[in-house]
Amino acid sequence: MAKFTLEFEDVFDFKLIGIFSHVKDYRLCWEINKALSFDFQKSENLTITFKGNNQMYSFFEYTNEEDMLDYYLIANRSEYGTLIPEEKCDYFLLIKGIIKDRAFELLIKRIKELNLVLATAEIEVEQLKSKENLIF
């Protein structure tokens, strides 16, 4: 009998923005909510098991039903390490759904203009070594 091997590749169909900010997560969410009319809500922490340790990362989510987009604000640091070690940013804004390029660029620009944000950067998900950590 012939053996068949099932192979699959994870699909990373989301956009990612790195946010540099030295404020607490809830303060950054409040600022984004106020400036962009979002409604981020605190969710259960994102938990990743690495080398036997459960690492927990602060996790907020917001769904824009009108545009059919899901937004997630995720801390890149915990007391045990970083979620995506190759990225030095403090937070990630992960966007699931189809967002137009112009709207995405405008979002990056508006976040960058916030007083509590030092810098922002679009992150190419396919280039990340630890991209599996962003699948939840």
Element (H, E) at 96: strand 91-96
- In the block, residue with structure tokens 């640091």: 77
What's residue 78's pLDDT? 87
The DSSP symbol for 130 reads T
Residue 8 has pLDDT above 90, yes or no: no
Which tops the pLDDT comparison, 111 or 136?
A: 111
Cα separation, 16 vs 5, whole angstroms: 32
Q: Nearest to residue 71, comparing CAs of 47, 102, 103?
A: 103
| Phi, psi for 35 (deg, rounded to 5) | -75, -35
Cα separation, 75 vs 24, whole angstroms: 10
DSSP secondary structure, 30-74, as one string = HHHHHHHT---EE-SPEEEEETTEEEEE-EEEEEETTTTEEEEEE
Which tops the pLDDT comparison, 59 or 4?
A: 59
Q: If you average pLDDT over every residue of the chain, what do you get? A: 87
Task: Give the start-to-end residue ranges of the domains of the chain.
Answer: 13-69
Cα separation, 15 vs 12, whole angstroms: 8
